[in-house]
């Protein structure tokens, strides 16, 4: 009888994906905080790595980043994308994985979504419904 495996690619990430994503997130945060990446566009920018999502085969990792204050987000994401090979090498030196995942960078939009949610909750219609 054949073993059946859960389809991890379609649902929520498994524990291994979450663990590897967190290890990569910490490594990227350290690298960017210490200024180990030598790029003039990123030299004086503080970047927050909010989350790293890893594919089920651990070959691709997408880092969701936001510069401090949300200023020049698109430029920072492009600069990180340009330097992804160097970042991959630096991350590989820090983590103990058999394969180093390809890195991709996306802006973290959760802060914008939280602001929209707060705005909705403060609206008179919602406040009226909450008070009843």
Number of domains in the chain: 1
The pLDDT score that the predictor gives to residue 71 is 80
Segments forming the whole domain that contains residue 115: 15-131
Residue 5, CA distances (Å) to 9, 32, 78 in order: 11, 37, 37
Backbone region of residue 62 per phi and psi (left: phi > 0; alpha: psi in -120 to 50; beta: other values): beta
The one-digit pLDDT tens for each residue of the chain (132 residues) are: 455 444 445 578 899 999 999 999 999 999 999 988 888 888 888 999 999 999 999 899 999 999 987 788 899 999 999 999 999 999 998 888 778 899 999 998 877 677 777 777 888 887 787 776
- Per residue in 73-107, pLDDT (tens digit) is 899 999 999 999 999 999 998 888 778 899 999 99
In this structure, is residue 2 part of a structural domain? Answer: no
In this structure, is residue 49 part of a structural domain? Answer: yes
The pLDDT score that the predictor gives to residue 7 is 46
């Amino acid at each position: 009888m054949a073993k059946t495996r859960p389809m991890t690619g379609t649902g929520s990430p498994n524990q291994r994906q979450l663990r590897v994503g967190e290890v990569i997130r910490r490594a990227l945060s350290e690298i960017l905080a210490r200024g180990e990446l030598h790029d003039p566009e990123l030299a004086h920018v503080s970047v927050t790595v909010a989350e790293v999502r890893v594919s089920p085969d651990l070959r691709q990792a997408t880092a969701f980043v936001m510069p401090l204050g949300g200023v020049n987000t698109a430029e920072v994401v492009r600069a990180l994308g340009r330097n992804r090979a160097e970042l991959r090498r630096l991350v590989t030196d820090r983590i103990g994985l058999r394969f180093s995942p390809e890195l991709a960078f996306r802006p973290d939009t959760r802060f914008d979504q939280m602001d929209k949610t707060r705005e909705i909750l403060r609206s008179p219609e919602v406040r009226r419904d909450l008070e009843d």
